[in-house]
Structure 1
Amino acid sequence: MHVPDGFINAPTSAATGVIAAGAIAVSLRGARRELDERTAPLAGLVAAFIFAVQMLNFPVAAGTSGHLLGGALAAILVGPYTGVLCVSVVLLMQGILFADGGLTALGVNITNMAIVTTVVAYALFRGLVKVLPRTRRSVTVASFVAALVSVPASALAFTLMYAIGGTTDVSIGKVVTAMVGVHVLIGIGEAAITALTVGSVIAVRPDLVYGARGLTHKLKLRVNGELVDVQAEPEPAPAAARTSHRKVWAAGLVASLVLAGFVSFYASADPDGLEKVAADHGIDKKAEEHAVADSPLADYGVEDVDDARLSGGLAGVIGVGVTVVAGSAVFWAVRRRRSDGTSPSDTSDTSGTTSATSTTSV
């Protein structure tokens, strides 16, 4: 659902840019509370994994494909604030290096694909885990539903933006029907990928899944008239749960490189949901050429490499590498700032979260 330049007029693009900048600023602050010794290394990997999986367009209808948006996956794995930053890093790398998603439309894309998907998905996810049984399966089920709903929600957000600042005169009613219809189908693919990934991480290291923390009530004792948390003794972890986070990180990076460098060659070549709707309803009449269309990595290929398989594979590997480095640098900086400047109240909140995870039943 990468919106190119020319779909949305300048005032609306500027307004979404302000919204995106504000959300990123809030997310940078919120991510300080989410990032710890477990999630900080994982966050950069999550961004790289989303980049890799977004290269894997899957068919959803005749002549139409879809790909992962990633907001739900990032929010559940590393937290909603960090999730917004993960997807934003991916969109920035795609726009600058691969000419995917317009530069003037960067605010539109961050709002649609990072903010809306993450907020909708995580809010629904938290609501579901509160009412479902406190099990690993419930976390996976909640992940599936949250991811499924987040995609048409993003489609609705784009349609609203187009109704406000679209550059062509089209029937908004028809656009809503077409966008939601195709993105419900894409949402099924998003939900399957999200649930499979979350379930796989939970099976190995459940403590690495941010959304699975705090699912049991902490014990409290009354001391001098005040309730205080009881530090429960953690249960012995099963062998699978003792897998080093470095091994998890390495396995995730290898998977990302394989997906982007090899599996992406077999992705569907059909236009994605937004491209198809835009072509069918005339939204793309004023689409503009990308500002970096002459980039050596434009369209996910390496310039001067004639072999299509090799060119696409190299571009994918480069993209994963650049994204994991950029993402890790951002999250390391945020984590370091928290370590240098965390207030006592922030520290107590973090320790409370940690103690909650030691007693979780998932």
Structure 2
Amino acid sequence: MHMADALISPAVAGTMYVCSAAAAAYCIRQVRKENDPKKIPLMGIMGAFVFAAQMINFTIPGTGSSGHLCGSMLLSALLGPYAGFLTMIGVLAIQCLLFADGGILALGCNIWNMAFYGCFIGSLAIWLPLMKKGITKKRIWLASILGSVITLQLGAFSVTLETLLSNITELPFGVFVATMQPIHLAIGLVEGVIIASVLTFVYNARPALLYGAATQLMESAQLTFRKTLAVLALSALLIGGGLSLFASDNPDGLEWSLEKVAGTAELENNGNTHTQAAALQAVTALLPDYTFKDSESFLGTSFSGIVGSLAVVVLCVGSCYTFKFFQK
């Protein structure tokens, strides 16, 4: 659901940058209050895991479309809403700058659409209330599926609202909404199952890692903190470097909707601001579309998955120390 720059006007882009920046500033203050340095390696590894998982598009049967993990609900279930939101920013920034996945002008929109709802609504309004009486596997599955569906619907609606406010005439609001919401409902259901499976593993291996878990859950841990992180880190590398090769070639939910409504998934950029943003991204995107420039070798995809995962780790962990998110 990464928006391209052509879908928004500079005014809407600027507004969403301000909204996302304000949410990020609030999150920084909150993680400093929490002061839990153990989250630092978890932010890096889970950021890498989400980056790698997003490279795998799964087919939505009978539609000609595909979907991929958003990941913010997963991050918030492990890191909480604040550290989860900051980690998701790291993922989206690397995707945008290094791989040209989502426009630079649209980055503020993508952060809001893909990170805000999953981390704040998913965590505070769905995850924590359902886990109030204790974390169980059934509640994990319920929260994962319900949270993924609701937050992805909110994100999809925000995309249509942002194009409306940007006066993108090729995308009539009513038709665009009616196309976007059903396909992202299907994607949300699949994402919920994936997230529930990952969180069930964590529940079995190291349940105290789950957000809001009682300290007594430490007694039922099957793996140490380091071993659990090692499994998740290895999974990220295997997914990004190997399983990403088997991703569906079908357009994702947003691209599919654009084709249905506007007849094309690539609208034209207009205006000097869009041109400058495209020029900047052409410089920063060393591996555009997750492959080597001017090459269709499958090795580019594997290389992108591994390099991107490592870049997310460096950015997330480095930011924690550089900006002193946590005090040891």
Tell me the secondary structure at the aligned position of residue 251 of structure 2: coil
Moved more, 5-14 or 30-39: 30-39
Match for 2:58: what amino acid?
A: F
- The structure having more radius of gyration, on CA atoms, is 1
Pairing of 1:300-311 with structure 2 (within 5 A) = 300-303=290-293, 306=295, 308-311=297-300
| Equivalent-residue separation in structure 2 for 1:284 and 1:235 (angstroms) | 49
Tell me: CA distance 1:325–1:248, structure 2 relative to 1, closer, same or farther (3 Å): same
Q: What is the aligned partner in structure 1 of residue 258 from structure 2?
A: 278
Pairing of 1:1-362 with structure 2 (within 5 A) = 1-34=1-34, 36-61=36-61, 62-122=63-123, 123-130=125-132, 134-213=135-214, 234=216, 237-238=219-220, 241=221, 243-282=223-262, 284-287=266-269, 290-291=278-279, 292-293=281-282, 295-303=285-293, 306=295, 308-333=297-322, 336-339=324-327
| Equivalent-residue separation in structure 1 for 2:25 and 2:127 (angstroms) | 23
Given the two structures, how large is their TM-score scaled by the length of structure 1?
0.81
CA RMSD in angstroms comes to 2.2
Match for 1:187: what amino acid?
A: G
Match for 2:247: what amino acid?
A: A
Aligned length: 316
| Equivalent-residue separation in structure 1 for 2:60 and 2:207 (angstroms) | 32
| Equivalent-residue separation in structure 2 for 1:300 and 1:93 (angstroms) | 11
Structure 2 unaligned spans of 5+: none
Match for 1:330: what amino acid?
A: S
1:146-185 CA-partner distances (Å, limit 9, x unpaired): 1222111110111121221143243211111111010001
Contact 1:120 1:153 in 2 (8 A): no
| Equivalent-residue separation in structure 2 for 1:235 and 1:109 (angstroms) | 35
Contact 2:49 2:236 in 1 (8 A): yes
Tell me the secondary structure at the aligned position of residue 255 of structure 1: helix
Tell me the secondary structure at the aligned position of residue 65 of structure 1: strand
Tell me: CA distance 1:77–1:163, structure 2 relative to 1, closer, same or farther (3 Å): same
Given the two structures, how large is their TM-score scaled by the length of structure 2?
0.89
1:313-350 CA-partner distances (Å, limit 9, x unpaired): 0111100111111111223446x55426xxxxxxxxxx
Structure 1 unaligned spans of 5+: 215-233, 341-362
1:232-288 CA-partner distances (Å, limit 9, x unpaired): xx58824xx152211111111110011010100000011101011112212743347
1:96 Cα deviation from its structure 2 partner = 0.5
| Equivalent-residue separation in structure 1 for 2:174 and 2:297 (angstroms) | 40
Match for 2:227: what amino acid?
A: K
| Equivalent-residue separation in structure 2 for 1:337 and 1:133 (angstroms) | 29
Tell me: CA distance 1:133–1:81, structure 2 relative to 1, closer, same or farther (3 Å): closer
Moved more, 168-177 or 319-328: 168-177
Tell me: CA distance 1:174–1:236, structure 2 relative to 1, closer, same or farther (3 Å): closer
1:109 Cα deviation from its structure 2 partner = 0.6
